[in-house]
Structures are given as structure tokens and as C-alpha cells.
Amino acid sequence: MELSNGVKFMEADIAANIRTIKQRMAAAAARCHRDPDSIELLAVTKTVPPARVSEAITAGITAFGENYVQEAKEKISVIGQLAQWHMIGHLQANKAKYAVNLFNYIHSVDRMDLARELDKRSGQTGKKMNILIEVNVSGEKTKNGIQAAKAIDLIKDISTLENLSVKGLMTMAPYSANPEKSRPYFAELKNLRDNIILAGISGIKMEELSMGMTDDFEVAIEEGATIVRVGRAIFGERK
């Protein structure tokens, strides 16, 4: 399958893939004595055409993650609000005015200037935007996200903004062929979440941990993930 932007995907049975992933999620939840219904499968649809997204909706997916505002806008114009839409990619402050109208959640808030702009734009639309704070727990220079040591101060500052609702944290572990190598990073994010809860910041709810992708989502679940972001294992490999 070739998309209009030239990206090609291997053909995939989306419904079968989703069933398999949910079985693996349930098994991972059972290993750590968690309710599998407490973990959301967020289907990542970067470069995936609307027809394939619609297949995923038919197969039971209720939330999608997009990396780019313009691409999300085009898909949402076709598909509409049949599911929730989450912004998971780096967000520039000048795109905030579009993002607040498109997304139910923004996972990638990592600086105060972006938070202020989202607050301003959300206020103009009369909505309260759900956000996650993106944390760079690995310290990799190629990754976005605030340093873990600075996250609590950022959240304290954001707590003063009326139109944003901080729901939790997001991170990306460094890529490795061995999913076990992701475990320390997921554990660190959970520990950070627990410390933020202990800080008792007014109006802040640490309900969500968005972590884990196609190669390591089972480990993420074992370490407390409430949202796993899976694309390739649902829609197939790019050619």
C-alpha cells in the first residue's frame, strides 16, 4: 500500500493485529495483577491513511495518536470525532490554536511557553484541555521533554493556569531490540509520578502514564503504564 506522501506499508490485518495486541496487554496486566481495562491502547496513526484508521475504529479502537497537527487535521476532517484524538508529537507554540480544537489530549507539553499558549487558546474556545507532561527520563539530546528533575516545578507553574488539566506524564524510552532495557526508564517515570502526587500540588491529577510502544509496551504495562502507544504492530511495517 502506497500513500500520497510516498510512504508504503506492508499489508496488515488490522483487526487481527488489534486482537493480538489486546491479548498481550491482558497477559502483561495479569502478570502484575492489574485490571487490563485500566490500560488504554492508543493507536498511532502517523502516515496511516483515513481508510485504515476507519478499519481500526471498526475493530474497536477508541483513541488515536497523531504526531503532526496538519496531518491530524486532514484525517479528522474525514473521520470526525468517532474516537478520541491525542497529540503525541512535539508541538510548536504557534500550532496551539489549532491543537486545542483538534485534540482531546496533548501528551507533549514540556515547557511553560507552550503551556501558556495552550491555556490562552483553550480559554478562547471555552474548553479545558487535558495535557500530559513529557519527561525526558533518559536524558537523550535527540528526545524532547523536560528533565525529570525540573518536572515538578513546571507542573507547579502550570497548576496556576485555569484552562489546562494536567492528567499525568509521558515518556519515550531509548530504542533497543531488548524491551527489558526500557524498564528502568518506565520505572523512573512511575517514581516521578508518585513523587508529584506526594507533593500535593493543587488541581493536579496524576491519573495517566503514557509510555510503551510497539517494541516495549508489555514492559511498560508491568511498570504501570495506563496508555500504550502502538502503531507498527497494528498497521504493519513500512516498506
Cβ 161 vs Cβ 115: under 8 Å: yes
CA distance 112 to 134: 12
The pair phi, psi for residue 37, each rounded to 5°, is -70, -10
**Confidence at 112, pLDDT banded by 50, 70, 90:** very high
pLDDT digits (tens, 9 = 90+) for 4-29: 344 444 457 999 999 999 999 999 99
pLDDT digits (tens, 9 = 90+) for 121-140: 999 999 999 999 999 999 99
One DSSP character per residue, the chain reads: -B-TTS-BB----HHHHHHHHHHHHHHHHHHTT--GGGSEEEEE-TT--HHHHHHHHHTT--EEEES-HHHHHHHHHHH-SSSEEEE-S---GGGHHHHHHH-SEEEEE-SHHHHHHHHHHHHHHT--EEEEEEEETT--TTS-SEEHHHHHHHHHHHTT-TTEEEEEEE--PPP-SSGGGGHHHHHHHHHHHHHHHHHT-TT----EEE---TTTHHHHHHTT-SEEEE-HHHH--B-
Instruction: Give the residue, 1 or 151, on which the prediction is more confident.
Output: 151
Phi/psi class of residue 168: alpha, beta or left (left: φ > 0; alpha: ψ in -120 to 50)?
left
Query: Mean pLDDT over all residues of the chain?
Result: 93
Q: Provide, rounded to the nearest whole percent, the portion of the chain with pLDDT above 90.
A: 90
Q: Give residue 12's pLDDT.
A: 75
pLDDT digits (tens, 9 = 90+) for 31-42: 999 999 999 999
- Mean pLDDT across 219-231: 98
Ordered by where they begin, the domains of the chain are 14-173+180-234 (3.20.20.10)
**Confidence at 237, pLDDT banded by 50, 70, 90:** confident
